[in-house]
Amino acid sequence: MTDFDPDALPATGAAQRLAEQVWRVVAPNPGPLTGAGTNSYVITGGRPIVIDPGCDDPAHLGRVLEAAGGSAAMILCTHSHPDHSPGAAWLRERTGAPLLGQPAPHDGHQDPDYAPDGDLADGARFDSGAGTLVAIHTPGHASNHVCLLLEESGVLFTGDHLMSGSTVIIIPPDGSMRLYLESLRRLRELPLTALLPGHGARIPEPLAEIDRVIAHRMLREERLVRSLAARGRATLDELLPEVYADVPKFMHVYARYSLLAHAVKLVEEGRARVEGETYAWRGA
Ligand SMILES: [Zn+2]
């Protein structure tokens, strides 16, 4: 384990120390949606806590366990996507620590082996040995998503609700753009000092980042509204190249999910109607 500049880019390998009692270990699962890999976090202290064990890779999980000092009191999952929770079983078996997380939805996008021992309800509080950790339910990226706040220091473990360097994917119907934005506005009210995302580097200016993400999503929604209003009626495949003209083509397969999420939000708000594959603009 080595001391590390907390703002350096994450890299797979040795645990990186971000604060007195907070370590990051990057899982070896890099990709277009995961960046350098999933960030597993360890809060050391009297009751070591692991947040998001990442993929089920024994070398990675061995580094997580080493950072925790060889034992863990709790394993917490921000949500149950397959890049965040599968390593929990390995850690649970070796430490006896319970896995806490909200129950998984059944939408075909979850870790099939995710089986929490207990819930991670909104407002749940834990003594981590390094301060109080508070669960904050943040549906949007996934309906069972929670962020975790180290209350005394204002550090927020954001899971996939906010990530540095890329846009969070939202897959309806479990993912919801409307709830995602509501959750962001809720986080805005907290006295945050730094964000530790599930992917990418530490984000040092939480409020600016949250406002940037809200503005980015609203700009995308405006582009959809403009395209749909101009056409009157259109399918997602017709709208995609217009609304995401600035996004490289190879990312359109992912962007299409977010486009769907924006379209569903317009339907929920009564601004559009959907008939089969076609969205119709209703105005306003
Ligand atoms: Zn996720």
CA 142 – ligand 1 centroid, Å: 7
Q: What is the pLDDT of residues 88-141, one digit of tens each?
A: 999 999 999 999 999 999 999 999 999 999 999 999 999 988 899 999 999 999
CA 81 – ligand 1 centroid, Å: 5
CA 119 – ligand 1 centroid, Å: 18
Residue 1: pLDDT over 50: no
Instruction: Please report, to the nearest 10 degrees, the dihedral formed by the alpha carbons of residues 54, 58, 63, 68 taken in order.
Output: 70
CA 282 – ligand 1 centroid, Å: 32
Q: What is the pTM of this model?
A: 0.94
Q: What is the pLDDT of residues 225-238, one digit of tens each?
A: 999 999 999 999 99
CA 262 – ligand 1 centroid, Å: 18
Q: What is the pLDDT of residues 27-50, one digit of tens each?
A: 999 988 888 899 999 999 889 999
Assess contact for 221 and 262: CB atoms under 8 A. yes
Residues facing 148 on adjacent strands: 135, 157
C-alpha–C-alpha distance, residues 4 and 283, integer Å: 52
| Residues, beta carbon < 5 Å, ion ligand 1 | 81, 160
